[in-house]
A and B are shown apart, each in its own frame.
Chain A
Amino acid sequence: MADSVRQYGELATQLLIESRRSTATDFLLKYNDVLVRSILREQRQLEALIQDTLQIQDANGLGDDPHMPTILLYQTAILRNKRCLLAYHHHRLERLKDMFWSVGGALPLLLSTHSTSTGGSTSMNAPANSADVRSKLSPHEVDFLRSYSDSLLQFRSSVLATEEVDLFAPITRPPKDLHVLVRVIRDCGVIQTEVGAIDFRRGQRFLVRRADVEHLIVQGYLEEV
C-alpha cells in the first residue's frame, strides 16, 4: 500500500462506507479482515506517538505546554477509529441477527456451506439466499451466531413452557387462513401433520395446515403457491 499522503482515520472511513453499502444493497459483504487489521495497526502507531509526545512533555515539565494540541489531535483520531471499528462490527452483528431470524433461527441452514440451489425463485423468505454465508463471516462472528442461537433457545424454553407458540415463525403478516397450498422445492422427508405423516417430495403440491409447515416455508423447503 503506497503510504503516500494518507490522513489518520481515512481507513476507518472506508470501513464505514462498506457498512453503508451493505445497508444500501441489503447484502452481506465479506468480512474485511485486511482493513480491520490495518486500522488496528494505525491505532497502535497513534498510541506510540501519544506516548512519545507525553514523554517530551514530562521532560519539559508543567506549564504552558505547546504539545497539548498534538496530543489532542492524536487522541481524537484514536477515538474516532475505535468508534468506526465498533460500529462496523456492530452493524454486521445486526445484519447477521436479521439473517438468523429470516431463516427462522435455523442456524445449521444458515451456516451450511453448500448452496441452496433454489435459483432466483426464492421469495422474501430467504433473503440470506445463503449461497455461501459462512465464507463471508469472520470466525468470531460464527461464534457469536452460535452463542446467540443458544441463548435464544434457552430463552424460548424459559418463556414459553408450551410448544404451542413457535417463537421463530414469521411475524410480518398475521395468518388469514388455516390452510395453505404449498409447492415442495426441496425434499424434506416425512413430516408429521394434522392429517398424518406426509412425505414431501420435490415438485409435489399439498394443501396443509399452515402451523404444521410454517417453519419449512421459512427455511425455504416449501413455497406458498
Chain B
Amino acid sequence: MDNFDWSIPALGGDDENAIQVPRPAPRDDAPVPMQEDFLPIADEEETAFQQLIRHWMNERHAPDILPGQELLLGRLLDHIGKQTNDVRLLREDPDSSEDEHFRIMLVQTEVERVKFVIRSYIRTRLHKVEKYARHIMKTPELHQRLSKGEMEHVHRYALIVESHFSNAVLRGLPEEQQSLDENMAFMPPMVPAPDKTIAVFAFARTACPPVHLPDGTTLEMTKGQIVLTPYHIVEHLLLREDVKLV
C-alpha cells in the first residue's frame, strides 16, 4: 500500500517531478522511523541507574571535573540499602521458594554491579580532584561542582603535596627559589589545569542549539547525532545535559 501511495503523486507531478521519477526519496523516507526506534527511547524515563551511568561515562571522558551528582548518588545508595535489606529478609525466610532464591541471586548480582559503577564514579572524580587540586583551589567557579567531602579532600591533598614538596625540595633551596607557582616566560605553568582541547565523542540527547566553531562555521546537532569535537566546543552543552560523551 505504501509503495502504491507514493508512486502516484510522483507520476502525476509536473515536469520537475517527472525527471525525478526514479528518485530514491521513498528509500530515504523508509528508514527514518526505524532510526528513531534505535535511539534511546524517551530520555525522560531514564532510571536513576541509567542517569548515573551517563554521568559516569561523561566524567570518565571529560578532561575537566563535572558537577557532582550527590543527590543521585544518595538516592541510589538508599535504594541499595533497601534492596540489601529486603534480600536479607527473604533469604532468612524459610518459606522462600526455589524460584525466589534464584531471583534473589539476580538482585544481588545487580546490586553488586550498581556498586561497581558508584565506586568507579567516585574514584574517577577523586582522581581528577587530586590531579588538579591546586588548580581547583585557585578557581572558585569549580568549587560548587564538588561535594563538601571532595572539597575538603582537595584542601587536604593540596596541603600534603605542598608540604611534601617543601620538605623534600624547597626547604633546601635558597629563599629566592622557594615559591611553588611562578609563571616564567617560555616555561609551562607549574599548576596543571585540565586540557579542554582534547577530542571527545559527543552524542546529542536532544536537538542542540547551534554552537560556533573556531573557524567561524556553526555546528548544529540533531538528536542522536554523534560528533568528534574538541571538548571546549561541547562543554556548555554537556553541562546543560543536551549531549553526553560516549
Interface residues of A (CB under 8 A from B): 36-37, 40, 43-44, 47, 78-79, 82-83, 85-86, 89-90, 93, 97, 138, 140-141, 143-144, 147-148, 151-152, 154-155, 158-162, 164-167, 169, 171, 174-175, 177-178, 210-211
Contact = CB atoms under 8 A, between A and B. Distances in A.
Interface in B148-206: 148-150, 152-153, 156-157, 160-161, 164-165, 167-169, 172-174, 176-177, 184, 187, 190
Contacts of B167: 140, 143
What secondary structure prevails in chain A residues at the interface with B? Answer: helix
B147 interface: yes
B173 A43 contact: yes
A169 B113 CA distance: 13
Interface string B75-119: 001001100100000000000000000000100110011011111
B153 A152 contact: yes
* Contact-residue bracket for chain B: 35 or more
Nearest to B157: A151
B165 A89 contact: yes
B123 interface: yes
Interface in B114-151: 115-120, 122-123, 126, 130, 147-150
B112 to A, nearest CB: 5
Contacts of B80: 162, 164-165
Contact of B164 (A85, A93, A211): A93
Contacts of A166: 115, 119
A178 B190 CA distance: 46
A82 B173 contact: yes
A97 B160 CA distance: 13
A160 B161 CA distance: 24
Given A79-B184, A164-B81, A174-B113, 14 more contacts: A43-B172, A78-B177, A82-B173, A83-B187, A90-B161, A93-B161, A148-B160, A158-B149, A160-B77, A169-B119, A174-B116, A178-B108, A178-B109, A211-B115
A143 B215 CA distance: 50
B64 to A, nearest CB: 20
A2 to B, nearest CB: 24
B112 A175 contact: yes
B152 A89 contact: no
Given A86-B165, A140-B164, A178-B108, A164 B115 contact: yes
B120 A171 contact: yes
Contacts of A40: 169, 172-173
Given A143-B164, A164-B77, A159 B169 contact: no
A177 B152 contact: no
Given A79-B187, A158-B152, A171-B119, A36 B113 contact: no
A143 B187 CA distance: 30
Contacts of B153: 151-152, 154-155
Given A138-B168, A155-B126, A155-B150, A44 B119 contact: no
B61 to A, nearest CB: 16
B84 A164 contact: yes
A171 B116 contact: yes
A222 to B, nearest CB: 17
Given A151-B157, A158-B152, A82 B177 contact: yes
